Chains A and B, each alone.
Chain A
Amino acid sequence: MSAASPGRGVTVAPGPADGAADTGPLLSIEDLRVTYRVRGGTREAVRGVSLEVHAGQTVAVVGESGSGKSTTAHAVNGMLAPGARVTGGRITYAGQDVAALSRAGLRRLRGAEIGLVPQDPGASLNPTARVGDQIAEALVIHRIASRRDAAGHALRLLAEVGIDRPELRARQFPHELSGGMRQRVLIAIAIAAGPRLLIADEPTSALDATVSRRVLDHLAGLSAEHGIALLLITHDLAMAAERADRIVVLREGQVVEQGDARELITSPRRGYTRDLLADTPSLRSGRLIPARERRDEGEPLLKVRGLVKTFGRAGSADAVRAVDDVGFDVGRGRTVAVLGESGSGKSTTARILLGLEHPDAGSVLLDGTELTTLGAAGLRQARRRLQIVQQNPYTSLDPRFTVRRVVAEPLRAHKIGTPRERDARVEEMLDAVALPSDLADRRPRELSGGQRQRVAIARALVLRPEIVVCDEPVSALDVTVQAQILDLLTRLQRELGVSYVFISHDLAVVRQIADEVLVMRHGAVLEHGSAEAVFAEPSHPYTRDLLAAVADPFHQPRAEHPDAADRETAR
């Protein structure tokens, strides 16, 4: 099992012609079982998974959290977490039983035969070592190059993964690179020693949509060019459908179904796959609420005008205009979405609306009342009408409170009703968000993510507010749960006539529920209009970029992007 011969250049992988590999699959997993040791016993995370990856093929393993997809991937190169153990089945790589390998044998396999592109580019590079050295290390370990030659190879690899000015980048530390560039560096590390199989574990889940699209395009290009097989782990069925030759759908440690990618999404055989397809935002065809014409019903409920917020000392070099002249109206019972990637200023806008941040300029008028200049008492009164649902249901609820106490808190704070009336109101709200009333005395940690977000929604609506600011309310949730929460939000809007300001980075989610859309970037509003108009005929190139970045399963990506947009930074 030798590494790529140096004479052919370090990134060129041995093709299928290299010998025994072409007769069978490169990787075959048969009836794999993995058990975790947990408090008070064991839990089987992978329960009899079988799949095959042939040389040069891309296979996607799709599943929600807890499906065992990552555990399966980690078993392949023997990198299971401590406490996890393979309890059954076989993993065969190029005809060799991985479980039978010694520690040294495993080390020879890792990097040289099987590369790993990890999930979180922010945490996956050593913060105290230079980028170039980290790439070179992979070559030095497998004795493909001497320490000195490896540095040169690292530069070539950096160029190959599409990073400009490799000489400069190689000397930098990870924190000096953007997220997209770090992920490219990780790809460079993964392919450095010329592996024949790459495991990509949610390679883009921490990246913005436009960046992740470019990274995925590049990964696909490299694997096509070098004939590297790709085992792609993802929660995103749409992305899998677009990128993979084959798809394996996992649920609770078992294979639900697997098959040719196109076939699987056009004619799924299993109910779960159909649910998953129906719930995946970018594949959800229809809107949740019929598009509504803008009615002239008089004054809008919320009028936002000319908001400006600068962080850092004004005038200094590091001053950032987080919000730059943002304004919009929200009508009664309508949903306005603010769409943008990280750093676009969408969250700061939300915080200003809620009175958590003071704008440098501009006004927020709620039914004629100016919110930005209100004192603490006035703001408290205004907050009966303006509520919030936050992004992360794991941190937005006090872990010491019971569900009942969480939902009743706004009522107590505003001294509404007797304890008995409050109890009745809480029951009513829990019923409205479809939470069984026997959960009322549980604490947040005993609930699932979706249940917690329902509690947060119940808390936001218990005061019967007229407007709710939803800050990325579904981005921390699995797609099936996402769909349930979106359905819930639209149903409540129909029943209660509440307005939403919906903050999101996910165009596919926004498309389903927004009446109006603002597209933000670098603090400024690039585009503003009815959802139909913006998505049908985007006027700004950035919006077109965002639209293009939504995975389209029926689109086959070009093997390699020749255009300059592929480069992380313009030269």
Chain B
Amino acid sequence: MTLTDTPAAARGRVRRRPGPGVVLSFLVLGLAVLAAFAPGLLAHQSPVEGEVLEKLRPPSAEHWFGTDHLGRDVYARVVHGAGLSLRAPLIAVAIAFGAGCTLGLVSGFLGGPVDAVIMRLVDILLAVPSLLLSLAIVAALGFGITNVAVAVGVASVAAFARITRAEALRVRSSPFVEAATTLGVRGPQVLLRHVLPHAVGPALVLSTLEFGTAILSVSALSFLGYGEPPPTPEWGKIVSEGRDYLATAWWVALLPSLVIAATVLATNRLSRWFDARGERI
């Protein structure tokens, strides 16, 4: 929801071996992925059925994150919520990466009127803040996690298109591409062998960064109530349900928030790490 590092410019320090931060980030993401695919392995309580007598209990050995107003185990809801809360950003990034890279490459390589038209389109997408654009798309498509994913994806197409185009332009005017042309390599071959591999690199790094941003956007939309209807657990929605009990039971809202933040922090850290590694190549 905010302007973050563009990876091409995010110059991290180059390290040979991953530092403790990177290892920790891998660990956090590994747990999140495990939760998404096999929640049963991490939490045995039911995410949807609670015991009313046990409601709003603070964190304990039995309920790690406490219980919510319906007596449901918050930890179990977070673990089971990982599936939707991570799949939606993944779909979003896939959409943005696919559409954005195609637009950017075509734009950067063909140039001329095609470039002008595509870049005006990108300008328009950039003129509306991405969260607002997602909201408008959700308003039009209707609620539900799939629509949220599509909305968040469309809203970040522009970033991918721009970075791929810039990279395509840079590589296209580089001496080695000029050399290839002079050697007699055909246009499409130049695009395939020289431009594409270079242009996709930064976009891949951007996609790890955008994945973090997409987690935030999806959870914000879910927090505002545009995701799946209850009682399906989603991270944003779990927080929003706990909001009303903040004064008496902070854990219902704040512990899931912490999980979201940790996941995003981990993806951002890995993104910087990939970027730094990429620079060495």
Contact = CB atoms under 8 A, between A and B. Distances in A.
The reply, when asked whether chain A contacts chain B directly with Cβ atoms under 8 A, is yes
A400 B281 CA distance: 8
A388 interface: yes
Contacts of A380: 184, 186
A413 interface: yes
Contacts of B181: 356
A397 B174 CA distance: 9
B13 to A, nearest CB: 10
A409 B193 CA distance: 10
Interface string B167-183: 00000001111111111
A448 interface: no
A411 B14 CA distance: 37
Contacts of A410: 183-185
Nearest to A40: B16
Given A383-B182, A413-B184, A39 B176 contact: no
B185 A413 contact: yes
A354 interface: yes
B63 interface: no
Contact of A395 (B175, B182, B193, B197): B175
A409 B185 contact: yes
Contacts of A74: none
B55 interface: no
A413 B189 contact: yes
B184 A398 contact: no
B180 A354 contact: no
Contacts of A390: 175, 178-179
A413 B194 contact: no
A388 B176 CA distance: 11
Nearest to A382: B184
Nearest to B194: A398
A459 B182 CA distance: 11
Given A395-B176, A396-B176, A397-B176, A413 B183 contact: yes
A115 to B, nearest CB: 33
Q: Which of B174, B176, B187, B189 has the most CB of A within 10 A?
A: B176
A414 interface: yes
B198 interface: yes
Nearest to A354: B182
A392 interface: yes
B34 to A, nearest CB: 34
Interface string B227-239: 0000000000000
A388 B16 contact: no
Contacts of B194: 398
A95 interface: no
Contacts of A40: 16
Q: How large is the interface on B (under 10, 10 to 19, 20 to 34, 35 or more residues)?
A: 20 to 34
B176 A398 contact: yes
A396 B183 contact: no
B115 to A, nearest CB: 20
Given A398-B194, A400-B198, A356 B178 contact: yes
A459 B185 CA distance: 13
Contacts of A391: 175
Interface in B192-207: 193-194, 197-198
A391 B178 CA distance: 12
A40 B280 CA distance: 14
A409 B192 CA distance: 13
A156 interface: no
Nearest to A381: B184
A57 interface: no
A254 interface: no
A391 B179 CA distance: 11
Contacts of A396: 175-176, 179
Contacts of B198: 400
Interface string A375-386: 010001101100
Contacts of A557: none
B177 to A, nearest CB: 8
A387 interface: yes
B103 to A, nearest CB: 24
A400 B183 contact: no
Interface string A402-431: 000000011001100000000000000000
Nearest to B201: A400
Contacts of B14: 39
Contact of B183 (A395, A399, A409): A409
A397 B180 CA distance: 9
Given A399-B281, A400-B197, A384 B182 contact: no
Contacts of B182: 354-356, 383, 387-388
A381 B184 CA distance: 7
A506 B180 CA distance: 27
A571 B182 CA distance: 46
Contacts of A414: 184
Interface string A461-475: 001000000000000
A387 B183 contact: yes
A39 B280 CA distance: 12
A381 B181 CA distance: 12
A380 B281 CA distance: 31
Interface string A443-480: 00000000000001001000100000000000000000
A413 B183 CA distance: 8
Given A384-B184, A396-B176, A413-B180, 19 more contacts: A39-B14, A356-B178, A356-B181, A356-B182, A380-B184, A383-B184, A387-B182, A388-B179, A388-B182, A392-B175, A395-B175, A397-B179, A398-B176, A398-B177, A398-B180, A400-B197, A400-B198, A410-B184, A413-B184
List of 7 A-B pairs having minimum Cβ-Cβ separation, nearest first? A413-B185, A410-B183, A396-B175, A383-B184, A388-B182, A395-B175, A398-B176
14 contacts: A355-B182, A376-B187, A381-B184, A383-B183, A383-B184, A387-B182, A396-B175, A396-B176, A396-B179, A400-B281, A413-B186, A414-B184, A459-B179, A463-B184
